[in-house]
Amino acid sequence: MRYLKAEDIQKALTQAICQISYESDPKAVERMRTAHEQSNHELERDVLGAILENNELAAIDNIPLCQDTGCTVIIAEMGRELVIEGATLQEIADRAAAEAQGKCPLRASISYDPLFRRKNSGNNSPAIVHIRQVEGKRLKLKIAQKGGGAENMSFLMMLSPATPLEKIKEQIVQRIVESGSRACPPLVVGIGIGGNFERCALLAKEALFEELGRKHPDEHYAALEQEILSMINKCGKGAQGMGGGLTALAVHVLHEACHIASLPIAVNLQCHAHRHVDIEL
């Protein structure tokens, strides 16, 4: 067995949360920079220019990329020969989220009670943690600071397996286009297909944090990603909904087996503040 101390995980997590709060995914920045250079749309160039300048200043001055500093989301792969000493992963993540909120500093963005009291927890905890057990002794953590605007425009559909593919694509694109500027485009679009009701939502979340623009290994899903990306970008909504050809930076699909009577599809949107990193301990 391998033993890992809770405080060592917390330290790495806190550092990662601060880092991604100041620095967006470099590949997302690169795509926006290319579009900024190549666009013939004046307003799009202005908006992308402002986003790029904001990104540069945040990284130089160590200030958050956005006033919505987001909620800490962690997708963990935990080796079955690994023992964490001193705390559960949920407790460690909550402590790291709180430590980063004070240290970076970040806006306190978590409400303890979702409906009646809406009281701020005051320290960005609790974090949202998903754990999957895998072979080995390592702990792999996908860490994100997820903004509320893009999360609010995400959606889930329980479709009939008989739904034609064209209809599926249209429904997905229509909902994304209708979200306009509220998800803060240019977007990364994570699509989870299959599993069941809750599983496809997690697939969609995890799809966001695939390497930006990677090619799907299955040719059918690779083609689907490209078609949906092209349909979204043809809509003309553009950066922050101000027009132009860059409404989405990438579409990533993850899929899984599902019940023969079901076709669950979840779409999780990520804004241009694409704050995530993978670490391994």
Binding residues for ligand SF4 (CB under 6 A): 66, 68, 70, 147-150, 184, 271-273
Q: What are phi and psi of 182, to 5 degrees?
A: -65, -20
User: Taking the complex as a whole, how short is the minimal distance between the CB of residue 179 and ligand SF4, in angstroms?
Assistant: 11
By beta-carbon proximity to ligand SF4, the closer residue of 47 and 229 is: 47
User: Taking the complex as a whole, how short is the minimal distance between the CB of residue 99 and ligand SF4, in angstroms?
Assistant: 20
By beta-carbon proximity to ligand SF4, the closer residue of 189 and 271 is: 271
Q: How far apart are CA 48 and CA 31, in angstroms?
A: 10
Nearest in space to 269 (alpha carbons), one of 141, 168, 145, 152: 152
User: Taking the complex as a whole, how short is the minimal distance between the CB of residue 14 and ligand SF4, in angstroms?
Assistant: 20
The one-letter code for the residue type at 161 is P
User: Taking the complex as a whole, how short is the minimal distance between the CB of residue 195 and ligand SF4, in angstroms?
Assistant: 26
By beta-carbon proximity to ligand SF4, the closer residue of 50 and 83 is: 50
By beta-carbon proximity to ligand SF4, the closer residue of 49 and 149 is: 149
- Residue 254: burial class (beta carbons within 10 Å; 0-12, 13-18, 19+): buried
Which residue in the shown chain puts its C-beta closest to ligand SF4? 147
- Residue 195: burial class (beta carbons within 10 Å; 0-12, 13-18, 19+): buried
Q: How far apart are CA 152 and CA 7, in angstroms?
A: 33
- Residue 25: burial class (beta carbons within 10 Å; 0-12, 13-18, 19+): buried
User: Taking the complex as a whole, how short is the minimal distance between the CB of residue 68 and ligand SF4, in angstroms?
Assistant: 3
By beta-carbon proximity to ligand SF4, the closer residue of 4 and 20 is: 20
User: Taking the complex as a whole, how short is the minimal distance between the CB of residue 124 and ligand SF4, in angstroms?
Assistant: 13
Q: How far apart are CA 223 and CA 166, in angstroms?
A: 13
Residue 133, beta-bridge partner list:
78
